[in-house]
Amino acid sequence: MNQTPASPEPPRSGLARTAQTAAGACAAIALASIMFLMLIDVTGRYLFNAPLPGAVEIIELAMGVCVFAALPLVTASNEHIRLDYLSNAVRGRVRALTNAIVATISTAGMVLLAWRIVDKALSIARYGDTTPFLKIPMAPIALFIALCAAISALIFLMQALRFWQHTITGTPSTAQKGQTS
């Protein structure tokens, strides 16, 4: 898939840069933790016949943090995986229209996902659910995941609005970074 030249990105505020750095740090720390724990667990299991107790629980939680912390970053840079069956055939406002429709559907899907995760996170908090072995509270992780999904929904909404503006007015959109041709 080829990358089309992107319009210059709008300047990011200090808050946006800080949020991007924080999300990237959360994803990186979670991924590094997963790798380190797996190394210790596998080494202990195969060399000493003594796996690391609770490693699976921590790895599962860290995977959720890693994936959902990276979600707003991928969404903001507009680099989700795409199938480009239609995008090669259309140009201009028609492409902007298809992008606007896709971004609007993505917004709705992410809002639905965030809402359901918040509902589940509140239920987890109400019941005080913890992991079975280490008794780690799961509510903070679930709320973090819900927050990341909500942030992604907001980013999708901003992208959809830019695409709709481009569709209606014909002005170039800054949300086209990562678009395939």
29-62 pLDDT, tens digit each: 999 999 999 999 999 999 999 999 999 999 999 9
CB 142 within 8 A of CB 127: no
Q: Within 13 A of 115's CA, how many CA atoms are on the CB side? A: 6
Mean pLDDT confidence for 102-114: 96
Q: Is 49 left (phi over 0), alpha (psi -120 to 50) or beta?
A: left
pLDDT interval class at 181 (50, 70, 90) = very low
- Output the DSSP codes for 29-61: HHHHHHHHHHHHHHHHHHHSS-PPTTHHHHHHH
Tokens of 76: 């903001």
